[in-house]
Amino acid sequence: MQIVIIEDEKLAANYLEKMILKFDNNIKVLAKPESVEEAITWFTTHKEPDLIFLDIHLEDGLSFSIFEKVSVKSPIIFTTAYDEYAIKAFSLKSIDYLLKPIQQEELNRSIEKYREWNSANTKEINIQELYDLLSAKNPNYKERFSIHVGQKIRTISVDDIAYFYSEESITFVVTNDKAEYALDYSLEELGEMLNPKDFFRINRQYLIKLKAIKNIHVFPKSRLKIELNPPAAKEVFVSIDKITRFKQWLNT
């Protein structure tokens, strides 16, 4: 079996590949595109795989936009961290879906489900039908977060948030007025909840809002240092593998 993993988090893609090979080391992972554009380029120049693992939200857009540019008939197993509105659609119109963090047993069941589907010569999946179904309902992006402050609970509007960062497995939100609070969500989960036009995951530790960027400094070898407002506690750089998508995001 030959598969393609479309996932914008390199660590998540590598971990999924490891889990797949643990299930069956004869499976061949052909490619791991990290964005809509990379996926379009790959499908334009290569033969379709037997199966696709597809993250729903990529940093440069909804992954379904891939199929607006290229015709792909491969069956799909969707992966998502936070996309409740679409779960029913996935279960009805696709091979399967996996909720992140993906568990080995759930992955095994999904691959077995694909094999049963494939051996039964089941009718090909209509990607356009699923895309239309999902597009008919706009994602409900998060508008506010509730946080604990001592013995009280208060809410923070997304409009008042400058950026999020992770340190020692704890996620923090920083507001425009320099306040800082701990949250119960991971950066990956937050990336699914927030409008990608406003927020971008620039590296493993920072998810920033466009309006929080004060300056962008260009360093040797095209490295980009981000000056945030309010200032971050340490220097913040865009990961090398995200620079192209970051520049595209700035121009969206």
Question: In the predicted model, what is the mean pLDDT of the chain?
Answer: 86
Instruction: Please tell me the predicted confidence (pLDDT) of residue 88.
Output: 54
Q: Domain limits of the chain?
A: 2-135, 144-250
Q: What is the pLDDT of residues 57-94, one digit of tens each?
A: 887 777 878 888 898 888 889 887 655 545 555 655 56
Tokens of 60: 């440069």
Neighbours of 83 (CB within 10 A): 21
pLDDT (mean) for 142-152: 88
Pick among 2.60.40.10, 1.10.240.10, 2.40.50.1020, 3.40.50.720: CATH of 144-250:
2.40.50.1020
The pLDDT of residue 122 is: 61
pLDDT at position 128: 65
| β-bridge pairing 76-80 and 51-55 | parallel
Quick one: pLDDT at residue 221?
79
Each residue's pLDDT tens digit, 121-137: 665 666 666 666 555 55
SS (H, E, C) 148-167: EECCEEEEEEHHHEEEEEEE
Cβ neighbour number for residue 89 with a 10 Å cutoff: 19
Q: In the structure, what pLDDT confidence band is assigned to residue 155 with cuts at 50, 70 and 90? A: very high
**DSSP helix/strand/coil, 34:** coil
Architecture of the 2-135 domain:
3-Layer(aba) Sandwich (3.40)
Confidence of residue 226 (pLDDT cuts 50, 70, 90): very high
Instruction: Report, as an integer, the average pLDDT of 222-242.
Output: 93
